[in-house]
Structure 1
Amino acid sequence: MVESNHLGHGAAFATGAAGGPVQRRLRKMSTHPEDPRVFSQAKIWVPLGLLLSLLMTLIMPIPISEYLDGTSDDIFSIILPGLFTLFCYLLLLMGLFRRFGVNREKAWTRFGKLFYRQVRFEDIDRFGVGMQRYKLYAGDTMINIDYNRFDYSLVFIRLLEELQYRRFRLQKVGVDDPEWEDTAQAHRNMLAADVYANHRAFYDAHPEELDRLQALAQPPQTYVN
């Protein structure tokens, strides 16, 4: 059986950090691990950003007035609170317009109509890691997978499926590296354990789905490319 503690050790080794327990507890999990998802942190950033933005908007006239009437000659008394005010508005905008998502074809991120980026799973040529996140690359395009914040189980399953028939770079290990097979199996174990840990109740109630997950964690007989 896929054991969730394999992921804990694997992810900690891969990223150099095992933090984020609070964020993981706050994640909203899907009913089925392969459900398409759209993620947002609006419930956090909108009220916080709105409160801080309003507060700083009311406070900012004070340092501006003091600087203009000569009470203070320190320009940073305006610049620093001004920058913090902009940061507060940025939090509000992030809550209102920043979205992340995954379906069977791609992982994507967008900021309203101003910004959109996607990586299709069939185009992935590198899997990387960052601080408590994974990174998917397709050429020059990169998508962050913040697994502590969101339930990215579908991403892990799609990566397992891709590794069943093709090779791509896994962190610093290229496809021609003699260590690639061992590295690929370590990543299969890690990803499958992550999915199982995220949806243990589902897999315990659906043994046929657990069998499928177990099969995806095994190395294929051959690769297409």
Structure 2
Amino acid sequence: MVEPVQLGRGAAFAAGAASGSVQRKLRKMSERPEDPRVFSQAKILVSLGLPLSVIMTATMYFPISEYVQGSSDDVFSVIIPGLITLACYTLLTQGLFRRFGVDHEKVWTRFGKLFYRQVRFEDIDRFDVGNQRYKLYAGDTKVNVDYNRFDYSLVYIQLLEELQHRRFKIQAVNVDDPEWEDTAQAHRNMFASDVYENHQAFYEAHPQELERLQRLVQPPRTYKS
């Protein structure tokens, strides 16, 4: 098993942000931690958004009709239901068109054919933490990793691989900061612990893969950059 460690500057906050939640318990886990994944919340969002959108669309007839006919002069009686209807359609469209994914080369997000963004692991120059998510940067391009909603174990493994041969900024710690190595090691342990926790049964059944994971936790002797 990957042993826990005391986290250094920056990593403690990251670990706190990665605390358990109901969403984590509902995640669909892959059979193997290194399986490429495509994530969708269509099952939940469409099942909620579709009936709510139909109901609210039909309901909107009454406040609009009353306002147009002059029986009501309260514009908020139209605006508020309208905003609720918009929120319902937002749920529906997110379920239908929003997808997230990761493979061995990149992590990506898209919204139908209107929007696509990716960050290749070999191009990552900064790792950061947001509200219940990690942030991966390659220049001005950012992709969020919503670890509570989806099984991003492959992302953690690829980050471990990158940290075996090169340096990149980790939260507020630059690569030339004297604390970078301690911070990087703390994050290595954090990533490996998350992978192990997500796929404990797999690693117990595949000791050679656990040995590989433990090797990835060890700091390299040298870095290319």
TM > 0.5 between the two?
Answer: yes
2: distance between equivalents of 1:47 and 1:12?
37
Contact 2:38 2:102 in 1 (8 A): yes
Quote the offset at 1:17 in angstroms: 3.9
The amino acid that maps onto 2:32 is: H
Counterpart of 2:79 in structure 1: which amino acid? I
Return closer, same or farther for 1:31/1:194 CA change in 2, 3 Å cut-off: same
1:163 aligns with 2:150: no
> Kindly tell me: are residues 51 and 105 of structure 1, through their superposed partners in 2, closer, same or farther at Cα, counting changes over 3 Å?
same
Question: Offset at 1:84?
Answer: 1.3
Structure 1 pair 15/58, CA: closer, same or farther in 2 (3 Å)? farther
SS at match of 1:149: coil
1:21 positional shift: 2.1
Distance 2:155 2:91 in 1: 26
Asked if structure 2 preserves the Cα contact closer than 8 Å seen for 1:30 and 1:151, the reply is yes
Q: Alignment length, in residue pairs?
A: 223
Query: What secondary structure is seen at the aligned counterpart in 2 of 1:57?
Result: helix
Q: Flag the 1:121–1:27 CA change in 2: closer, same or farther, 3 A.
A: same
Q: Relative to structure 1, is the Cα distance of residues 18 and 185 closer, same or farther in structure 2, using a 3 angstrom cutoff? A: closer
Which residue of the partner structure matches residue 123 of structure 1?
Answer: 123
Q: Distance in 2 between matches of 1:12 and 1:81?
A: 43
TM-score (norm 2): 0.95
Shift of 1:19: 4.7
Alpha-carbon distance change, 149 to 4 in structure 1, aligned in 2, over 3 angstroms: farther
Once the two structures are superposed, what CA deviation does each residue of 1:123-165 show, in whole Å capped at 9, x if it has no partner?
0000000111101000011001011110000000000000000
The Cα shift of 1:13 comes to 3.0
For residue 207 of structure 1, what is the amino acid of its counterpart? Answer: P
For 1:210 and 1:15, the matched residues in 2 are separated by 22
2:145 is aligned to 145
How has the CA–CA distance of structure 1 residues 6 and 104 changed in structure 2, closer, same or farther, with 3 Å as cutoff? Answer: farther
2:77 equivalent to 1:77: yes
Closer, same or farther: CA 20–45 of 1 in aligned 2, 3 Å: farther
SS, match of residue 176 in structure 1? coil
Quote the residue 1:193 is aligned against: 193
| Residue matched to 1:90 | 90
Cα deviation for residue 70 of structure 1 reads 1.3
Matching residue's letter, 1:150: F
Structure 2 CA distance, aligned partners of 1:27 and 1:85? 28
SS of the counterpart of 2:107? strand
Say which SS state the counterpart of residue 71 (structure 1) adopts.
coil
Tell me the amino acid that sits aligned with residue 144 of structure 1. N
Aligned to 1:42: 42
- 1:83-112, Cα deviation, whole Å (9 max, x unpaired): 111111111011011000000000000000
Task: Give the SS at the match of 2:31.
Answer: coil
The residue aligned with 2:136 is 136
Moved more, 83-92 or 41-50: 83-92
Q: Which residue of 2 aligns with 1:209?
A: 209
Give the share of equivalent positions with the same residue, in percent.
75
**Structure 1 position 224, deviation (Å):** 0.6
Residue 64 of structure 1 is matched in structure 2 by 64
Instruction: Give the letter aligned to residue 185 of structure 1.
Output: Q
CA distance in 2, matches of 1:87, 1:190: 36
Task: Name the SS of the counterpart of 1:99 in structure 2.
Answer: strand
Over 3 Å counting, the alpha-carbon distance change for 1:204 and 1:48 in structure 2 is: same
